[in-house]
Chain A
Amino acid sequence: MNTRYRTLGGTIFDVANYIVLATIGIVAVLPFLYVLAGSFASDTELTRRAFFIIPHSFSITAYKYIFSTDTILHSLFNSLYVTIVGTAVNLIFTVTMAYALSKRGTWGRNAIMNLIIFSMLFGGGLIPTYLVVRDLRLLDSFWALMLPGAISAFNLIIVKNFFQELPPELEEAARIDGCADLSLLWRIVLPLSMPVLATFTLFYAVGHWNNFYSALLYINDPWKWPLQVLLRQIVLLSQMAAGSADSVDYNYVQQAQQSIKMAVIIVGTIPILLVYPFLQKHFAKGVLIGSVKG
């Protein structure tokens, strides 16, 4: 953004800067490019060539292998289900409460706000929350992945502040036109809040898709594992088991599995890359709304 003027030093700096930034940009995605290439390469090629972005021989053996059973498909379905239903739960809980709290003069409103703010500062922590989930008989249920994080207090406060800033005249006019209380929210407030809600929808959805912690805690039944848990099982745990064995034959088996692991990583990454254009459109806004204090 600096004023345009040319000095030799400035030009050298600019060239170096472009090279450095381009390199950083490539490093950010290089692991994926390599793993993508590796997932389509034959195992002999993975062993023989150290690093490559384009495989010599193109093979889909790894993908055939991982989709030969429905394990991966099933966990993909589990993740998709939790992401869709979980995000809907997040939005319903967040929007209704945020709207109720945006109304001034309600009895008890300040006390509830304080309860919410305190919960951001201090909490029961892992074990007591686990015991509540267990006592509600939610272990091994998808609800355990959706209810304990139904509202992010931080998001709630941002949405509440947004609702508060909508011009009150709109609601008054709608009320005069005979709009009842609940349809006010549905027909006036929500349509006006779409850009903000789109941002939070994406944030909640990515959170669900990427969530590993809750499933680790609450889901023991492998049939109910979301993709992240299965991924760890396939890529990390098989690795650790191999850590103790160092016979040549075993190494060969491990090599054979590299391409399969890579294929699994790609399958786990693609859904995020598919929504990335939408994310990119919204996240800068999201981060900046978040930094505005209300």
Chain B
Amino acid sequence: MLMSVTARLKRDRWIYFLMAPGLLYFIIFKYVPMWGLLISFQDYQPYLGFWKSPWIGFENYRMFFGNMEFGMLLRNTLVLSFYNLVFYFPVPIVLALLMNEVRRLVFKRAVQTLIYVPHFISMVIVASLTYVLLTTQGGVVNGLLEKHTGSSIDFLTSPGWFRPLIIAQTIWKESGFGTIIFLAALAGVDIEQYEAAYMDGANRWRQLWHITLPSIRNTIVILLILRMGDVLDNGFEQIYLMLNPLNREVAEVFDTYVYMMGITQGAFSYSTAVGLFKGIVGVILVLGANWLAKRFGQSGIY
């Protein structure tokens, strides 16, 4: 049954009425800013506005790629992502496997209740806890260190400690919650498989290797691929809160650099160029990761 467009519009007018607020939201806060990316080709002056600011072509990009800081930002961003992959990514998997071996449900629930808490705590609180516990001025960790070794460590400002701290925060905050998706996959395994394996003489290690791990392999692969899609995202809040002038050489990443150059120093066009560069690389990575996911027989995200 074909109806003319006007007839359909009229019939569905209340649907459009309901759609209007959301549609306006996407236009104003998602699509107008995309168009605003054009200021990266301008020398944007706030008092002139978008329409009157002069166009300068790729000058901002030339400045950014020719800048000494570009290498530092790229390295810091990638190193943090790599550390995250190596040191954080396996933790929820191992934790879920350990929890899967627990037979007392009361104990398992109690552990779950405790380890999910940090996920809901704000990054500001996480950073605050880190500061209060690790400060050299009356922090408990340095208090203990001084008691036993006689010297304290300046965790918060020394560049060498920045990356370990960030990864430790992530592990503390997210590895508990990260088990949920694996526990769900593990709950789907048929107990009869374990019984059959036992009958065939497989011990618990072999059961782990031949039954448990294969059941979460797909989940692991897809999460790994998704992680690849956002290697350039380090989480602005966390880095920003832990960043200070003394550890900047290892701490500054693209996101914090855009904030500092754009909001703090008012270089709108230049920082928009940095943001657009990051955004485009991000899209390529996400689409590439999605393509890979499909090749692995997963349904993909887009």
As a 0/1 sequence over residues 130 to 149 of chain B, the CB contacts with chain A under 8 angstroms (1 = contact) are 01110101111001100100
Report which of A21, A119, A293 forms a contact with B26, defined as CB distance below 8 A: A119
A82 at the interface (CB under 8 A from B): no
Question: Are B258 and A127 neighbours in the complex by a CB distance under 8 Å?
Answer: yes
A166 at the interface (CB under 8 A from B): no
> Quick one: given A2-B194, A93-B25, A132-B29, are A287 and B180 in contact (CB under 8 Å)?
yes
B237 at the interface (CB under 8 A from A): yes
Q: Which of A4, A92, A96 gathers most chain B CB within 10 Å?
A: A96
Question: Are B128 and A235 neighbours in the complex by a CB distance under 8 Å?
Answer: yes
Chain A residues within 8 Å of B34, by CB: 122-124, 128
Report which of B113, B123, B236 forms a contact with A280, defined as CB distance below 8 A: B113
B 242-272 contacts with A by CB, 8 A: 244, 246, 255, 258-259, 262-263, 268, 271-272
Bound CA–CA A25/B143 (angstroms): 24
As a 0/1 sequence over residues 142 to 163 of chain A, the CB contacts with chain B under 8 angstroms (1 = contact) are 0000011011000010000000
Question: Are B18 and A251 neighbours in the complex by a CB distance under 8 Å?
Answer: no
- Total residues of chain A contacting the partner, CB 8 A: 106
> Quick one: given A1-B189, A26-B114, A280-B116, are A127 and B272 in contact (CB under 8 Å)?
yes
How distant is B115 from chain A, measured CB to nearest CB, in Å? 5
B159 at the interface (CB under 8 A from A): no
As a 0/1 sequence over residues 1 to 14 of chain B, the CB contacts with chain A under 8 angstroms (1 = contact) are 00001001100101
Report which of A17, A106, A269 forms a contact with B12, defined as CB distance below 8 A: A106
> Quick one: given A1-B103, A119-B26, A287-B181, are A92 and B21 in contact (CB under 8 Å)?
yes
A 1-21 contacts with B by CB, 8 A: 1-5, 7, 10, 13-14, 17-18, 20-21
Report which of B8, B23, B29 forms a contact with A147, defined as CB distance below 8 A: B29
B166 at the interface (CB under 8 A from A): no
B83 at the interface (CB under 8 A from A): no
Chain A residues within 8 Å of B302, by CB: 117, 121
> Quick one: given A2-B204, A119-B26, are A235 and B131 in contact (CB under 8 Å)?
yes
- Which residue of A is nearest B138, CB measured? A255
How distant is B207 from chain A, measured CB to nearest CB, in Å? 6
Bound CA–CA A150/B23 (angstroms): 11
B 150-170 contacts with A by CB, 8 A: 156-157
How distant is A208 from chain B, measured CB to nearest CB, in Å? 11
Question: Are B110 and A93 neighbours in the complex by a CB distance under 8 Å?
Answer: no
How distant is B170 from chain A, measured CB to nearest CB, in Å? 13
Question: Are B125 and A148 neighbours in the complex by a CB distance under 8 Å?
Answer: no
Report which of A131, A185, A240, A269 forms a contact with B244, defined as CB distance below 8 A: A240
A99 at the interface (CB under 8 A from B): yes
B 275-300 contacts with A by CB, 8 A: 275-276, 278-280, 282-283, 286-287, 299
Bound CA–CA A28/B138 (angstroms): 22
Question: Are B127 and A24 neighbours in the complex by a CB distance under 8 Å?
Answer: no
A61 at the interface (CB under 8 A from B): no
Question: Are A124 and B25 neighbours in the complex by a CB distance under 8 Å?
Answer: no
Bound CA–CA A212/B237 (angstroms): 7
Question: Are B21 and A93 neighbours in the complex by a CB distance under 8 Å?
Answer: yes
User: Which one, A64-72, A167-175, A258-266, is touching chain B?
Assistant: A258-266
Bound CA–CA A46/B287 (angstroms): 52
A 252-294 contacts with B by CB, 8 A: 254-255, 258, 261-262, 264-265, 268-269, 272-273, 276, 279-280, 283-284, 287-288, 291, 293
Chain B residues within 8 Å of A235, by CB: 127-128, 131-132
Q: Which of A21, A127, A255, A279 gathers most chain B CB within 10 Å?
A: A127
Chain A residues within 8 Å of B113, by CB: 280
> Quick one: given A206-B120, A231-B128, A265-B132, are A123 and B30 in contact (CB under 8 Å)?
yes
A-B contact pairs, 26 of them (CB 8 A): A1-B194, A2-B207, A21-B102, A32-B129, A35-B133, A100-B19, A103-B15, A105-B8, A106-B8, A106-B15, A121-B287, A122-B282, A126-B255, A128-B33, A128-B34, A131-B268, A147-B29, A235-B127, A239-B156, A243-B244, A258-B137, A261-B131, A265-B128, A265-B132, A287-B181, A291-B181
Measured CB to CB, the residues of B under 8 A from A are 5, 8-9, 12, 14-16, 18-19, 21-23, 25-26, 28-37, 39, 95, 98-103, 107, 110-111, 113-118, 120-125, 127-129, 131-133, 135, 137-140, 143-144, 147, 156-157, 172, 176-177, 180-181, 184, 186, 189, 191, 194-195, 198, 203-204, 207, 236-237, 240-241, 244, 246, 255, 258-259, 262-263, 268, 271-272, 275-276, 278-280, 282-283, 286-287, 299, 301-302
List 10 additional A-B contacts (Cβ < 8 Å) besides A123-B30, A127-B275.
A3-B194, A10-B203, A17-B102, A50-B143, A122-B283, A125-B37, A129-B29, A182-B14, A210-B122, A236-B131
Sort A-B residue pairs by CB-CB distance and give the 5 closest, nearest first: A124-B33, A97-B22, A128-B36, A210-B122, A125-B275
